Amino acid sequence: MKNFLLALVIAIVLMNCLGSVVEDALGMHLVMSDELLSPWENIAVFSLVGIVLAIVGFVVALSVVGTVVLALGAVLFALLLAGVSAFWPIIVIAIALYALKRRNTASYAQKNEHNMHHTL
């Protein structure tokens, strides 16, 4: 939001400066109802046009960035899903080996010492 407000302030300042330059140097004047607008009205109209263009630019920039981020996220999720679906047997075997390996450690034997004394 801070960047958006900063963009609006910059657009207003630029349009105020450029509005007077356009009016003086190029001789452009806005006409409404067959009457010339005053210089301040010209600046106000040019400022509004600049603000609208800044808002449109902001929305386009966000939509492009948002689309790129969403596409990258979808690609990464698809790669993860494809990797898990291709290698799920290896993953299951690795989890089973890890679970069985923990039973053979000394801490497991010490905790369950009373269960290991009986024989069938």
- 58 within domain boundaries: yes
- 96 within domain boundaries: no
In which element (H, E) is residue 89 found? helix 88-103
- 61 within domain boundaries: yes
- 67 within domain boundaries: yes
Q: What is the full per-residue pLDDT of the chain (120 aa) written as tens digits?
A: 788 888 888 877 776 776 677 667 767 667 777 777 776 677 777 778 888 888 888 888 778 877 888 889 889 999 888 888 888 888 889 888 888 876 655 666 666 666 656 555
- 106 within domain boundaries: no
What is the domain count for the chain? 1
Nearest alpha carbon to residue 55 among 18, 28, 15: 15
- 7 within domain boundaries: yes
Please state, as a whole number, how many other Cβ atoms lie within 10 Å of the Cβ of residue 54. 19
The residue type of 113 is E
Residue 39's domain spans which residues?
Answer: 2-77
**Whole-prediction pTM:** 0.37
